[in-house]
């Protein structure tokens, strides 16, 4: 089998790249290790930047997003019982949209299937060959039978644990990582959101986030120990702890109920450089991870797709290699800014095991500065709604 662009990974970034390339007359094959049902069963965040929403509209897959997505014009920052709002719309003229990653993926699968996109599921033992040559190819197995996919370029959209990043020789890769000494315990419940905007709350007991998926589906998180397990947290214990970490004004308003999903996610910042080796290009989590505090994980993947899409279109339509040549440098410049925002927001509102009283006072001063300074709020808002591509 032969294609122009082999895409490793059938998550949202791989599917979005595939569909946008299709709309530009460029052939792709998407290889996914898991089943479609497994991919759609993964629970992920869903705060979408303006740029990502524009990409989905460009891909002609925004119908449900436009009908069902929650437009958010701001966010609430809380510290103890004190709170204040940051108005994204007033400060930047833009907003974000809450629309679950699962739903984005579902829409993209439907679009690829409606246009006879070539999707290969349960592709095991994927290996990338000749990425540093003019004739790369990918091998994989389906039910134990080896297959070969010849291509002109490979897009590695297969996440942190995928094969794409590991294909780049260690002598070429530079990896930068920060592991945070805590995780997030997240609960999904069929309850109305406690507030129309997201609440980011710091407290002496640790961080909490109040979010939502729709008008009767809420997502809540609390900072927890990495030694914790979700099974040890009863629903009652979770709700009790969440109420301790949010301002009193919201404790009585919080509607609780049985959890329909509960899990713990570790937090890390990670970047690998370069994001290109020969004809292999890394996208999304294959190249970088951010802590979820800044809502940048899916959005940085979208910006990678934007830059790689433009580079491939230039290559095929205009015989111009400059976009592909600059891909890694251009993508990384934006990635590092997203990493900075996610790190800074995490540092602002979480409790760290080794924090001194001085550190806590500095944290409180940072929150107060953000409250009092419109300039600081504008910087926060500009980063939250998404820096330009």
Q: What is the pLDDT of residues 271-302, one digit of tens each?
A: 999 999 999 999 999 999 999 999 999 999 99
Q: Which of 292, 306, 307, 350 is catalytic?
A: 292
pLDDT at 45 over 80: no
- Per residue in 156-166, pLDDT (tens digit) is 999 999 999 99
Residue of 22, 195, 296, 306 marked catalytic: 296
Say whether the peptide bond before residue 274 is cis (omega within 30 degrees of 0): yes
pLDDT at 44 over 80: no
pLDDT attached to residue 83: 95
CA-based Rg of the chain, rounded to a whole angstrom?
A: 21
Q: In this predicted structure, what is the pLDDT of residue 1?
A: 94
Q: CB-based contacts of 242: which residues, under 8 Å, 6+ apart?
A: 208, 210, 220, 222, 254
Residue 153 pLDDT: 98
- Grouping H, G, I as helix, E, B as strand and the rest as coil, residue 1 is coil
* The pLDDT of residue 41: 84
Tell me the mean pLDDT in the region 122-142: 97
CATH 3.30.9.10 fits 181-266+352-385, yes or no: yes
CA–CA separation, 24 and 327 (whole Å) = 18
200 catalytic? Reply is yes
Give the CA angle between residues 238, 285, 355 to the nearest 5°: 50
- Residues 72, 288, 306, 315: which is the catalytic one? 72
Q: What are the extents of the domains in the chain?
A: 2-71+96-178+268-348, 181-266+352-385
Q: Chain-wide mean pLDDT for the chain?
A: 96
Distance of CA 29 to the CA centre of its chain: 23
Active site residue 292: yes
As assigned by CATH, the class of the 2-71+96-178+268-348 domain is alpha beta
Choosing from 99, 180, 200, 307, the catalytic residue is 200
Where do the DSSP E strands lie in the chain?
A: 5-8, 28-31, 47-48, 70-72, 74-79, 82-87, 96-98, 118-120, 124-129, 137-142, 145-150, 153-156, 174-189, 198-202, 208-214, 217-224, 259-273, 276-277, 280-282, 288-289
pLDDT digits (tens, 9 = 90+) for 222-246: 999 999 999 999 999 999 999 999 9
Residue range 97-108, pLDDT digits in tens:
999 899 999 999
Q: How confident is the model at residue 91 (pLDDT cuts 50, 70, 90)?
A: very high
Residue 215: what pLDDT? 85
Cα gap 254→72, rounded to integer Å: 19
Output the pTM of the full model: 0.95
């Amino acid at each position: 089998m032969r294609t122009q662009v082999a895409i490793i990974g059938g998550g949202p970034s791989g599917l979005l790249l595939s569909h946008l390339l299709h709309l530009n007359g460029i052939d792709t094959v998407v290889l996914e290790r898991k089943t479609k049902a497994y991919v759609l069963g993964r629970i992920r965040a869903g705060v979408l930047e303006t740029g990502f929403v524009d990409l989905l509209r460009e891909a002609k897959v925004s119908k449900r997003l436009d009908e069902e997505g929650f437009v958010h014009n701001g966010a609430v920052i809380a510290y103890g019982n004190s709170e204040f709002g940051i108005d994204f719309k007033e400060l930047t003229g833009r907003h974000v949209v809450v629309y679950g990653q699962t739903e984005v993926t579902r829409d993209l699968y439907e679009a690829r299937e409606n246009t006879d996109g070539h999707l290969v599921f349960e592709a095991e033992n994927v290996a990338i060959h000749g990425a540093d040559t003019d004739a790369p190819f990918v091998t994989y197995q389906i039910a134990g039978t080896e297959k070969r996919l010849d291509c002109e370029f490979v897009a590695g959209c297969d996440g942190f644990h995928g094969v794409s990043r590991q294909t780049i020789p260690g002598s070429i890769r530079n990896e930068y990582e920060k592991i945070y000494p805590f995780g997030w315990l997240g609960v999904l419940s069929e309850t109305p959101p406690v507030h129309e905007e997201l609440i980011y709350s710091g407290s002496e007991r640790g961080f909490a986030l109040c979010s939502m998926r729709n008008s009767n589906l809420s997502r809540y998180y609390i900072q927890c120990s990495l030694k914790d397990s979700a099974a040890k947290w009863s629903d009652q214990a979770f709700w009790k702890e969440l109420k301790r970490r949010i301002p009193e004004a919201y404790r009585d308003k919080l509607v609780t109920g049985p959890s329909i999903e509960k899990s713990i996610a570790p937090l890390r910042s990670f970047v690998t450089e370069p994001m290109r080796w020969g004809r292999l290009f890394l996208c999304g989590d294959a190249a970088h991870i951010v802590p979820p505090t800044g809502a940048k994980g899916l959005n940085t993947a979208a910006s990678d797709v934007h830059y790689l899409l433009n580079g491939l279109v230039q290559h095929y339509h205009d015989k111009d290699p400059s976009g592909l040549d600059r891909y890694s440098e251009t993508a990384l410049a934006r990635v590092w800014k997203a990493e900075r925002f996610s790190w800074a927001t995490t540092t602002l509102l979480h409790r760290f095991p080794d924090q001194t009283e001085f550190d806590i006072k500095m944290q409180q001063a940072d929150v107060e500065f953000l409250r009092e300074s419109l300039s600081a709020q504008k910087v926060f808002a500009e980063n939250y709604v998404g820096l330009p591509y």
